[in-house]
Chains A and B, each alone.
Chain A
């Protein structure tokens, strides 16, 4: 709990009265606006850029009864909806029960899935359920681009689930895309694909979190691509969801729609599968661990009184970025992106559009390695449909995908 946070005043300033909402958010809320809850670290896939290094189930995972108690607490705190993820949340046998339990307790659920369990029956069930949102992950508008990072067969699985949802008459489901160097040129294609299912497109920023750190150099958009992305968002931003994750691009000039602020510990946080509460879903590292829902006082006490969250809830006052003319636009960017690339938290974002990030990355001590999270649930061996980005041979998703005689003379 010794995060090297950007310098803030030693005596916490009083919350201002009135003024902009964003200034109020810097001082935190009594309960999160939305909260990410990863139900399991278990996953059938092994995406190269997984933000939570998921794969294997953690034996300390919250039980059904413990998860229900968390939902009871969220209802009391009036957290009106949660983003459920993983791992692959639907592989938890009690997933559908917890979904109903949350909805019955006025906690709406938006869950992210790779589609593995969304057959026609489940799609019909979801379409008939109010107050639930589904988000299918796709990281390429074509199988070729997608499967390199998410694994062979994953594009087919996701599009089958999309077909099932559309056929069942599900409304407002989403296709969620992490923008990378390889798919940033496909934004229009993603939009067309999403429209064809009557779904909504959601694109978010790729961060060097979890296994994302291992492939960040290779996959994060180049400076030129960031500019393209910014222009695309200015032109299409109203018809696409972004989770307000591209606020670092606002330093190009025009503010993007949404909240241009790091919400970590202020308006958002993460509950991980074992109940640990982190400042944000992209910050699974002991430095950003605020407490556990199993502790006395539960989630509410962690959210409202943990030292880490208290510390995050005041404006940044020092550091190189506060002197920059664009500070008000980007607010120094993403804390997790800085941390996992080994940059100081009060300095520029590694993808700073003014170019200060590249300078900072170049100036890092050669002997200083970027901090690595010790929380890693990655599969220890190869999985079916292993992604090919890293050059490992792929195991076919189905044995009949490849001829047994392939490669033989």
Chain B
């Protein structure tokens, strides 16, 4: 509970290795509830609960599906350069708890 902004808080869970070069999306079994500070994220499958601690991180997660990679998403959402490593880490945490998943590219 002491993770620095903008980290997502979650419990540890094994998941696929996180590659920010690949296309990602909010997992299909995940719902996001807007909150004044960001959002509450809930996974209906593994029943894990996470929190997104900034509204910018919420937009990043929601826009993942429109971009070919995490880097492109951060660029499109105008995440300041200096904060990008923290955002990549937050997204890696979210992939570990299966809140975001790899997206199949159209063949």
* Cβ-based interface call for A60 (8 A): no
Contact A29 B1 (CB under 8 A): no
A344 CA / B2 CA spacing, docked (Å):
30
Q: Which of A29, A33, A80 has the most CB of B within 10 A?
A: A80
Contact B36 A30 (CB under 8 A): yes
Contact A29 B54 (CB under 8 A): no
| In the complex, residue of chain B having the shortest beta-carbon distance to the beta carbon of A15 | B36
Partner-binding segment picked from B15-23, B45-53, B90-98: B45-53
**Chain B residues within 8 Å of A15, by CB:** 36-37
Contact A18 B54 (CB under 8 A): yes
| In the complex, residue of chain B having the shortest beta-carbon distance to the beta carbon of A78 | B33
Contacting residues of chain B (19-69) with chain A, CB-CB under 8 angstroms? 31, 33-37, 40, 42, 44, 47, 49, 51, 53-54
Contact B1 A20 (CB under 8 A): yes
Contact B40 A33 (CB under 8 A): yes
**Chain A residues within 8 Å of B31, by CB:** 78, 80, 106
A33 CA / B42 CA spacing, docked (Å):
10
* Cβ-based interface call for A108 (8 A): yes
* Cβ-based interface call for B5 (8 A): yes
* Cβ-based interface call for A101 (8 A): no
Contact B35 A29 (CB under 8 A): yes
Contacting residues of chain A (104-121) with chain B, CB-CB under 8 angstroms? 106, 108
* Cβ-based interface call for B9 (8 A): yes
Contact A21 B33 (CB under 8 A): no
Do A21 and B36 form a contact, CB below 8 Å, given A80-B31, A131-B44, A259-B1? no
Contact A81 B47 (CB under 8 A): yes
* Cβ-based interface call for A27 (8 A): yes
Contact B47 A24 (CB under 8 A): no
Chain A residue total in the interface (Cβ 8 A): 22
| In the complex, residue of chain A having the shortest beta-carbon distance to the beta carbon of B41 | A80
**Chain B residues within 8 Å of A24, by CB:** 35-37, 53
Kindly provide the distance from the CB of A223 to the nearest chain B CB, expressed in whole angstroms.
27
Contact with B along A246-290 (1 / 0, CB 8 A): 000000000000111000000000000000000000000000000
Contact B40 A29 (CB under 8 A): yes
Contact A21 B9 (CB under 8 A): yes
| In the complex, residue of chain A having the shortest beta-carbon distance to the beta carbon of B38 | A24
Do A21 and B51 form a contact, CB below 8 Å, given A15-B36, A30-B33, A78-B33? yes
A78 CA / B35 CA spacing, docked (Å):
11
* Cβ-based interface call for A93 (8 A): no
Contact B53 A21 (CB under 8 A): yes
Contact of A18 among B5, B36, B42, B47 (CB under 8 A): B5
* Cβ-based interface call for A22 (8 A): yes
**Chain B residues within 8 Å of A259, by CB:** 1
A81 CA / B40 CA spacing, docked (Å):
13
Contact B37 A22 (CB under 8 A): no
Q: List 12 A-B contacts (CB under 8 A).
A: A17-B37, A18-B37, A21-B51, A24-B36, A29-B35, A30-B33, A30-B36, A33-B40, A33-B49, A78-B40, A78-B42, A108-B47
Other A-B pairs beyond A30-B33, A80-B49, 16, CB < 8 Å: A18-B6, A18-B37, A18-B54, A20-B2, A21-B1, A21-B9, A21-B53, A24-B53, A29-B36, A30-B34, A33-B40, A106-B31, A108-B44, A131-B44, A258-B1, A259-B1
Lowest 3 A-B CB distances belong to which pairs? A78-B33, A80-B42, A24-B37
